[in-house]
Amino acid sequence: MKYLRLFLCLVALALTACMSHLFVDTTTRLQLENKTDVTILGLDVVSEDGSSVRPWIRDTIEPGEKSRVFEEDWVGTFRVRVRFDKWNAGALVSIAKACGTYSRPNRVYNTLAKQGEPNVIEKNISGCGSEENVHMVYTETDLEFEGGSQYLVVSQDSTGNVAFKFK
Amino acid sequence: MKTGLNKILLLLALATGVAFADPIPAEALTQGGLPMRDRQLRDIGLVLRGGRGGFIDIGYTYTPSSEQLQLKSQYGVHNGYAFRHHYGVFGSWVLDPVSHFGFLTWFDRTGWDSQDFFFFPHYGDFAHISSALTWGFSYTNSKYDATVALGLQHQNLEKAGWRAYPHESDSLLFYWAHARFKNVSFQGSFYRNTFQTLRISLELESRELYGGAGNGITTYLPNLSATIYRRKTGDDDDNFIRLNWEQNLYKQILYADVSYDFPDDGFRSAALKYYPDPSRMIGFEASCLRRHERSGAKDLLWGGAIDLLFLRFAYNSAFDYENMFHAKGTFIVEFKFNIGSTPDGKFFGRGAPKAAPMETTQSQFDMKKFMKNRTEQNMGTPTYDAQGNKILHAKGIRYEKEGAGTTSNEGGY
């Protein structure tokens, strides 16, 4: 009986829906630290098919530096892309797009990640008529954001791959 | 020991309910308009089976965890809350002994937001909130046992977050009409000059609530309805017909409810429903729904629901899959209440064949008896002293105004 009353009180409390605003975050305030030896050009959230890109961290972060804090409505699990100006280690996949035969970078990334192979991709598209010329060095991964203040460290592991760690 | 085990089982059930929930797809949100409007019209059809008395329905779904019904957008999986708030009211007035004039309004506000709320949404970047309001007037003639009703249906998009949803038309206005003669009814809803749904219903089952038999062979006749839905695939019309068959299996407390789509899709859903009383205030159901996502038996979604007048628990139920954006894999709690009343003051649940059994007691208020009881209670049992005189105990202190009995002006200030 004692527990029933407690339970009902909790239900009533939780039902005053606005209460959840006190302990549920609807935004993530993200700060990025660059522990690699190259410059990070930014962090974006990309759609699964790669067709839609939403910039999140819009700073250029030098090695050893931190970005500013950017607050966005991303709470959950999303595909994140971090762009670099170059990648020094040997662990690098190159996609040079020859017009007509185009391998989708996502696919390449997915299969490579499973094998524990390099996860940094260099994409080169040039001279493809109507399409824009692209030179981009980036890595993609699914990250879970719990909301609130989050501090993401991007570093290079012993195999030369990019490693992500929330601190 | 036993309660301890029960508690563990309950926690386990809750944990699995939350942990294995599947996110709802963004497309289901943008396509939620038709199911919402159709459910309202089906409800209205049930209420207009009588067309007299009144009906009220109110409900609020409650999913306590933000990881319970996440949103699956093209970017990934977002934490938040799917919700469905709804109400429906029907009331009628007696114009003359055979004519009843009624007004009805049904409202649903459904969607997904990153915060839960009662009235004021958070409007997050990925929120999708839309509403449908159906209202109209009805006229029922009890001599011919016929009802006609017509009205409007508004569908509004309150908020659709950037980039997550395709463009939709806002502020759509539909109109609808309903006509019933005895147990046959027609219903249609239209947008401009094209129909959206057309429905014919044959309620063959004999229902005591509407003057039919309370038991016997006629209560085992089926309730059938066929609905033509307008559907577009690309530029082509791809209309389909949904057949619903409700069948009394045992004494109007056990029912089967089957729906089937013509011409292509085939079996849609089946439910076995048990109502401890034919008035349908409380119900239990097991349901099975075909999702058209996989092949074979894996495509079937099995679930159930318990409806306890003020509270409804459901897990994977066919109703929630269709009305809560394909929600599955989690427990959904709804705080709800619905009840209908007949002109002679009997009550029943939605779609019930019989009214709830009620005891009527004749009570007349007797002032004298009431006062006597009250005085005796206040006085308690009188006590007597040694000489046999009654002793009165004074309770409280009462100050009397000087010169009481005269008017205050003469009180001598």
pLDDT at A112: 43
First to last CA, chain A: 44
Which amino acid belongs to residue B335?
F
Which residues of chain A make contact with B80, given a CB cutoff of 8 A? 26, 75
Can you read off the two tokens belonging to residue B369? 């008896």
Interface residue of A4, A7, A20, A56 to substitute, partner B, most B CBs within 10 Å: A20
Residue B314: CB atoms within 10 A of its CB come to 24
Residues of chain A with Cβ-Cβ distance to B76 below 8 Å are: 45, 48, 76-79, 142
Q: Are B222 and B205 in contact (CB under 8 A)?
A: yes
Q: Verify whether the Cβ–Cβ distance B62 to A15 is below 8 Å.
A: yes
Q: Quick one: CA dihedral A115, A118, A124, A130, positive or negative?
A: positive
User: Under an 8 A CB cutoff, do B74 and A49 touch?
Assistant: yes
Mutation target for B interface from A73, A78, A106, A146: give the one with most B CBs within 10 A: A73
Q: What is the predicted pLDDT for the residue at A111? A: 42
Q: What is the pLDDT of residue B382?
A: 62
CATH code of the domain covering residue A120:
2.60.40
DSSP class of residue B48 equals: T
Chain centroid to CA B319? 12
CA distance B228 to B241: 4
Question: How much is the mean pLDDT over chain A?
Answer: 78
Q: Where are the domains of chain B?
A: 22-348
Residues of A in contact with B126 (CB under 8 A): 73
Backbone angles phi, psi at B182, to 5 degrees: 50, -115
The pLDDT of residue B391: 72
| Residue A140 to chain B, least CA–CA distance (Å) | 12
The CA distance from B312 to B72, in Å, is 26
Burial class (CB in 10 A: 0-12, 13-18, 19+), B340: buried
User: Residue B207 is which amino acid?
Assistant: R
Nearest CB partner across the interface for A77, out of B76, B115, B335: B76
Output B196 or A102, whichever has higher pLDDT: B196
Interface contact flag, A78 B74, Cβ < 8 Å:
no
Give B154 to chain A, closest Cα distance, Å.
27
Answer whether A18 touches B (CB < 8 Å). yes
Predicted local confidence at residue B134, as pLDDT:
96
Output the pLDDT for position B15. 53
Q: Do B76 and A142 touch (CB under 8 A)?
A: yes
Task: Check CB contact under 8 Å for B115 and A48.
Answer: no
- Measured between CA atoms, the residue of chain A closest to residue B118 is A17
Give the span between the Cα atoms of B80 and A150, in whole angstroms.
18
* Beta carbons within 10 angstroms of residue B347's beta carbon: 17
Ranges of chain B whose pLDDT falls below 70: 1-20, 360-364, 376-382, 392-398, 400-413
A77 and chain B: CB distance < 8 Å anywhere? yes
DSSP B295-350: SGGGGEEEEEEEEESSEEEEES-HHHHHHTTT--SSEEEEEEEEEEE-TTS-EE-T
| Residues in chain A closer than 8 A to B66 (CB atoms) | 20, 24, 75
Check if B6 contacts A (Cβ < 8 Å).
no
Token look-up 């935004």 returns: A27
- Would you say B322 and B303 are in contact if contact means Cβ atoms under 8 Å apart? no
Question: What is the model's pLDDT at position A9?
Answer: 73
Looking at the domain assignment, is residue A6 inside a domain? Answer: no
Rounded to whole angstroms, the Cα distance separating A60 from A67 reads 8
> Hey, are the CB atoms on A72 and B66 less than 8 Å from each other?
no
Q: Test A48 with B64 for CB contact under 8 angstroms.
A: no
Domain-located, residue A1: no
Q: Which residue of A has its CA nearest to B120?
A: A18
Q: Is the peptide bond before A63 cis (omega within 30 degrees of 0)?
A: no
B 46-75: CB under 8 A from A: 62, 64, 66, 70-71, 74-75
Q: How many domains does chain A have?
A: 1
Rounded to whole angstroms, the Cα distance separating B112 from B121 reads: 10
Q: How far apart are CA B196 and CA B189, in angstroms?
A: 5
Q: Which residue has the higher pLDDT, A92 or B140?
A: B140
Chain A nearest-CA residue for B61 = A15
Q: Nearest 5 degrees, angle CA A90-CA A91-CA A95?
A: 105
More confident: B146 or A12: B146
What stretches of B66-114 adopt beta strand conformation (E)?
71-73, 76-78, 81-96, 99-113
C-beta of residue A142 within 8 angstroms of C-beta of residue A113: no
- Residue A95 touches partner B, C-beta closer than 8 Å: no
Residues near A147 by Cβ (< 8 Å), separated by ≥ 6?
A24, A25, A26, A27, A28, A75, B79
Question: Which contiguous run of DSSP H or E holds residue B190?
Answer: strand B184-191
The rounded Cα B196 to chain-centroid distance in angstroms is 23
For testing contact with chain A, the best of B3, B68, B78 (most A CBs within 10 A): B78
Our CA angle for B260, B291, B331, nearest 5°, is 115
Flag if B64 and A24 touch (Cβ within 8 Å).
no
Of A17, A26, A77, Cβ closest to residue B124? A26
Q: Longest C-alpha distance within chain B, in Å?
A: 106
Q: Which of B214, B124, B196, B112 is nearest to B162 (CA)?
A: B124
Give the C-alpha separation, B37 to B132, whole Å.
Answer: 7
Model pTM score: 0.79
Separation of alpha carbons B280 and B258, rounded Å: 18
Determine the Cα–Cα distance for residues B37 and B33; give it in Å rounded to an integer. 6
Under a CB-based contact definition with an 8 Å cutoff, are residues A47 and B75 in contact? yes
Distance in angstroms (rounded) separating the CA atoms of residues B213 and B345: 19
User: The CATH number of B22-348 is which of 2.20.25, 3.40.720, 2.40.160, 2.30.130?
Assistant: 2.40.160
Spatial separation of the C-alpha atoms in residues B186 and B230, rounded to whole Å? 16
Q: Among all residues of chain A, which has the CA nearest to that of B7?
A: A3
Closest CA–CA distance from residue A54 to any residue of chain B (Å): 9
Which of B11, B61, B73, B114 best tests the A interface by mutation, with the highest count of A CBs <10 A?
B114
- A8 within a domain of the structure (yes/no): no
Query: Which residues in chain B have Cβ-Cβ distances shorter than 8 Å to A79?
Result: 75-76
Which residues of chain A have a CB within 8 Å of the CB of B75? 45-48, 52, 54, 74, 78-79
The model's pLDDT over A58-68, given as tens digits with 9 standing for 90+, comes to 989 999 999 99
Q: How far apart are CA B349 and CA B337, in angstroms?
A: 9
Taking CB atoms within 8 Å and a gap of at least 24, the contacts of B217-226 are B219/B248, B219/B251, B219/B252, B219/B353, B220/B247, B220/B248, B221/B248, B222/B246, B222/B247, B223/B247, B225/B199, B225/B200, B225/B201, B226/B199, B226/B200
Q: How does DSSP classify residue B408?
A: G
Residue A141 in contact with partner chain B when CB distance is under 8 A: no
CA–CA separation, B225 and B198 (whole Å): 10
Q: Are B28 and B325 in contact (CB under 8 A)?
A: yes
Nearest to B102, CA basis, from B146, B144, B53: B53
Under 8 Å CB-to-CB from A35, ≥6 apart: which residues?
A63, A64, A153, A154, A155, A156
* Residue A5 maps to a domain: no
Using CB atoms within 10 Å of the CB of residue A51, give its burial: 0 to 12 exposed, 13 to 18 middle, 19+ buried: exposed
Query: With a cut of 0.85, is the ipTM above it?
Result: no
Whether A3 is in a domain gets the answer no
Domain that holds residue A153: 22-166
Structural element, H or E, at residue B26:
helix B26-30
B163 in A contact zone (CB under 8 Å): yes
